[in-house]
Amino acid sequence: MTEMVVDRLKMIKLVTLDFDGTTADTMPTLEEIAVKLITKYYLLSQEEAKTKYRLTTGLPFLQQIEQLFPGHPANNEVIQQFEEEKKNNIFSLPLFDDTKETIKSLKNMGFIVAISSSTTQPTIEEYCRKKGLFVDQILGFREGFEKGKDHFDFLMKKFHLTTKEILYVGDSLKDCERAQAANILFIGKIGLFTKEDFDRISQSKLVITKLSELTELLKTFREKENK
């Protein structure tokens, strides 16, 4: 771990969590829906569809499809079907086992906790309400306001913070790219991608395998700072 990363960890005041695949165990189901639609409408093999979907995860689904199949006449139908199936399934999908306890621990340590996602805001808010998950701020996708700089700018303004005081935790390479483009420290959550995948683009080289590891990591540096 470089000295720069250590210094940044000591400065963190707000922990921002991705939703799908980081906070909630939704990615296997979402991937299944996406792969089914991509193979049906774009005539790709299951393996090709899975690879393309994974490489663009972290983006809103409509952006994934437009990036993968620009101008294709089936795009609107695919996007509509995906969003309908996602909404029909998502509320039955669980949080990760350690999500609630991790968020509670982070808040007890004095951190502000936010969720920043490419899922639409009403869907995340309803999901969190139904699951009894409470954070300081929920930010979802709407046209012209999305995960990355838009969300980070909102959080900085609301909580009077700088980029150096915000941490973003996500499970996709796009999460990493968007955090770093906004000068936000990033920690990858292994799942869809391996440590080796993240290390190829991550400046921090920090990864966790489960959310609860985040508490121990931040506790270590908070204790060092207070000595």
Q: Are residues 21 and 46 in the same domain?
A: no
Q: CATH number of the domain that 150 lies in? A: 3.40.50.1000
Q: Are residues 101 and 64 in the same domain?
A: no
Euclidean distance between CA atoms 227 and 224, whole angstroms:
5
User: Domain of 143?
Assistant: 3-25+95-226
Euclidean distance between CA atoms 147 and 138, whole angstroms:
11
Q: Are residues 45 and 104 in the same domain?
A: no
Q: Are residues 77 and 127 in the same domain?
A: no
Using the 3D structure, point to which of 46, 64, 90 is the last residue of a domain.
90
- The mean pLDDT value for 45-50 works out to 97
- The total domain count for the chain is 2
At CA 126, angle to CA 123 and CA 152, rounded to 5? 60
State both tokens at 37. 């639609």
Question: Could you tell me the end-to-end alpha-carbon distance of the chain, in angstroms, rounded to an integer?
Answer: 20
Q: Are residues 99 and 201 in the same domain?
A: yes
For tokens 């121990």, the residue is 216
At CA 139, angle to CA 176 and CA 129, rounded to 5? 120
What are the E-state strand segments in the chain?
A: 14-17, 112-120, 137-141, 166-170, 185-189, 207-208
Predicted confidence (pLDDT) per residue in 116-153, tens digit: 999 999 999 999 999 999 999 999 999 899 999 999 99
Q: Are residues 59 and 144 in the same domain?
A: no
Q: Are residues 43 and 138 in the same domain?
A: no
Q: Are residues 85 and 147 in the same domain?
A: no
- Quickly state the pLDDT bin for 63 (edges 50, 70, 90): very high
Q: Which pLDDT score, from 0 to 100, does residue 219 have?
A: 86
Q: In sequence order, what DSSP letters do the residues of 114-176 get, joined into one string?
A: EEEEEEEHHHHHHHHHHHT---SEEEEEBTTB-TTHHHHHHHHHHHT--GGGEEEEESSHHHH
Q: Which pLDDT score, from 0 to 100, does residue 6 have?
A: 86
Q: Are residues 71 and 7 in the same domain?
A: no
- The mean pLDDT value for 182-199 works out to 97
- Quickly state the pLDDT bin for 159 (edges 50, 70, 90): very high
- The mean pLDDT value for 8-32 works out to 96
Q: Are residues 69 and 156 in the same domain?
A: no
Predicted confidence (pLDDT) per residue in 65-120, tens digit: 999 999 999 999 999 999 999 999 999 999 999 999 999 999 999 999 999 999 99
